Amino acid sequence: MIIRKRLAAGACALLAALALGVTPANAADGPSKDSPKVELVLDVSGSMRATDIDGQSRMTAAKEAFNEVIDGTPESVRLGIRTLGASYAGEDKALGCRDSQQLYRVGKVDRADAKEAVSKLQPTGWTPIGLALRGADQDLGTDGGSRRIVLITDGEDSCGLPDPCDVARELAAKGTHLTIDTLGLASDDKTREQLSCIAEATGGTYTTVHHRKDLASRIKQLVKRADTPVETPKAVSGTEECRTAPEIGAGIWTDRETFAQHRVYKVKVKPGQELRVAASVGADRPVDRDYGVLVRAMGENGQELVRGSDAGSGRTDVMASGLRYPVAEDDNDKAPRTVCLEVSNSFSAPASVKRDPGLPVELAVDVVKGPDDPSDLAAFGLGRGWVLLLVLGLTGLLAGLLFGWLARWRIAVWREN
């Protein structure tokens, strides 16, 4: 009797939930809201009719690759599909450059529905890549989980505005940890340059693809990569001086700084601990050939404690440097010390290059147990390096003396003979 009553109560509750449009918790078997999200952005412009991928059209190769990707998408990944150039076949550029729609909503994949939507695509119109990237960013939302866009196209943007590289920098500057990977089905210089620029702006990758199997394999690899747990960088805005700098702790942090700007952050380090910092500045736009990155640890009074720097010349995607700073044990004072971290760069660029948003900065900060004798580590300065220079100098001097003695000995032997 009691069991019958419970079953009746459960049935009533289920009917009530269905009547209200509510799904019981255990029936919602889709990915959680913190699961990774990936949106595939596919170029469906007229140029995708070209038949240069394994004897078939680029569009056919892309469709077949998408079917494989849909079948292989992990259950824990929320997948979506957006198109560009799929609807308008006319000559009106204004209309053609607004042609981007979400084909399949980001969420749990219904494989049959997704494949059916892809099967109806036909090469049609223009190539508004910048517009499609903005749309994909909105499709992914900000409800948690990593966010990745995979752009597949056979050419550069044909609309001009918004510029895809500027859009990629704009999206990266929002601090929502969006990664854009690009795949090019054509390998001309202009396409390669633009797709590389888009990827570099967000820490993504660029790949040129010539075969259908490679296309499917690379997209599946990127979708599965989104499912790999990684620490999501936290956005922070450094200031020009330590007094007003934000406090950060162990973790990965992202910021932006313009050419030759200084950004300062605060970190608390207890006596007996060691601060370890790696800072990188990305060159996500054309820059002049000589550049450098400087990382300094300073006291609150502005006194430099230690520094790390690196410099280069020529083409680069990123420049990085780091430092370590141990705080000695102090039995009389256990209070944490405030260390001010300053990250600066000596990048410059031609006047035609945009300054905003600033160059992407990433800080990896860790605080660990310090060495037994911090003075041993501090002696090297980890940037001052005078002990190492002294050792190298003495080694060179001894080698020179030895070489000179051997040379004289050989001359003496030659004269005796």
% residues pLDDT > 70 (the chain): 83
Residue 59's pLDDT is what?
95
> Where among 195, 226, 257 does a domain terminate?
226
Indicate whether 267 belongs to any domain.
yes
Residues 117 and 250 in one domain: no
41: left (phi over 0), alpha (psi -120 to 50) or beta: beta
pLDDT at 30: 64
Domain boundary among 182, 208, 226: 226
pLDDT of res. 282: 85
Instruction: Give how far Cα 15 sits from Cα of 4, 11, 18, 26, 138, Å.
Output: 16, 6, 5, 15, 35
- Between residues 412 and 132, the one the model is more confident about: 132
Is the residue at 2 inside a domain? no
Host domain of residue 314: 234-380
Neighbours of 226 (CB within 10 A): 24
Q: Tell me the per-residue pLDDT of 328-376, one tens digit each, with 9 for 90 and over.
A: 888 788 899 999 999 999 999 999 888 888 998 989 999 988 775 545 4
Domain-located, residue 12 = no
Residue 109 has pLDDT above 80, yes or no: yes
- Co-location of 202 and 264 in the same domain: no
Of the candidates 226, 256, 282, which is a domain's last residue?
A: 226
Within a domain: 4:
no
Provide the pLDDT confidence category of residue 391 given band limits of 50, 70 and 90. Answer: low
* pLDDT tens, residue by residue, 65-85: 999 999 999 999 999 999 999
Yes or no: say if 49 and 123 are a contact pair by the CB < 8 Å rule: yes
Query: What average pLDDT does the segment 382-398 reach?
Result: 59
Q: Is residue 1 predicted with pLDDT exceeding 80?
A: no
d(CA 113, CA 106): 13
Residue 269 has pLDDT above 90, yes or no: yes
pLDDT at 120: 93
Question: Checking phi first, is residue 402 left (phi over 0); if not, alpha (psi -120 to 50) or beta?
Answer: alpha
Give yes or no: residues 49 and 149 share one domain: yes
Do 339 and 359 lie in a common domain?
yes
Residues 165 and 197 in one domain: yes
Same domain for 343 and 207: no
Residue 39 predicted with pLDDT over 60: yes
Residues ≥6 apart with Cβ < 8 Å to 282:
200, 201, 203, 317, 318, 359, 360, 361, 362
In the numeric block, which tokens belong to residue 23? 């799904």
Of 79, 343, 84, 54, the closest CA to residue 219 belongs to 79
How many domains are there within the chain? 2
User: Residue 363 maps to which CATH number?
Assistant: 2.60.120.380
Evaluate whether 207 touches 28 at the Cβ level (below 8 Å).
no
CA distances to 137, 316, 343, 363 from 255, in Å = 19, 19, 10, 8
Q: What is the reported pLDDT for 331?
A: 78
- The helix (run of H) or strand (run of E) holding residue 5 is helix 2-19
Helices (H), 141-227: 164-173, 189-201, 212-226
* Digit-coded pLDDT (tens) for 53-66: 999 999 999 999 99
Task: Please give the span between the terminal C-alpha atoms of the chain, in angstroms, as a whole number.
Answer: 121
Model confidence at 309: pLDDT above 80: yes
Q: Do residues 182 and 324 both lie within one domain?
A: no
Query: What pLDDT does residue 379 have?
Result: 40
Please indicate, yes or no, whether residues 73 and 166 belong to a single structural domain of this protein. yes
CA–CA distance, 211 with 67 (Å, rounded to integer)? 15
- The token duo for 376 is 């041993």
Beta strand extents in 251-302 (DSSP E only): 251-257, 262-269, 273-282, 290-298
Q: Helix 58-72 crosses helix 111-119 at what angle (to 10 degrees)?
A: 170
Residue 388 lies in a domain: no
pLDDT in tens, 148-178: 999 999 988 999 888 999 999 999 888 777 8
Residue 396 has pLDDT above 80, yes or no: no
Residue that wins the pLDDT comparison between 361 and 379: 361
Query: Which of the four pLDDT bands, split at 50, 70 and 90, describes residue 383?
Result: very low
> Would you state the pLDDT for residue 345?
94
Q: Examine the domain organization and report whether 41 and 117 are in the same domain.
A: yes
The answer to whether residues 186 and 85 belong to one domain is: yes
CA distance 307 to 385: 10
Residue 244 lies in a domain: yes
pTM equals 0.62
Q: Is pLDDT at 2 greater than 70 in this prediction?
A: no
User: What is the overall mean pLDDT for the chain?
Assistant: 84
| Share of residues in the chain with pLDDT > 90 (%) | 53
Is residue 214 assigned to a domain? yes
Query: Are 213 and 265 members of one domain?
Result: no
Residues 299 and 203 both lie in one domain: no
Q: Is residue 49 part of a domain?
A: yes
Q: What is the CATH number of the domain that holds 96?
A: 3.40.50.410
Question: What is the per-residue DSSP string for 171-183?
Answer: HHHTTS-EEEEEE
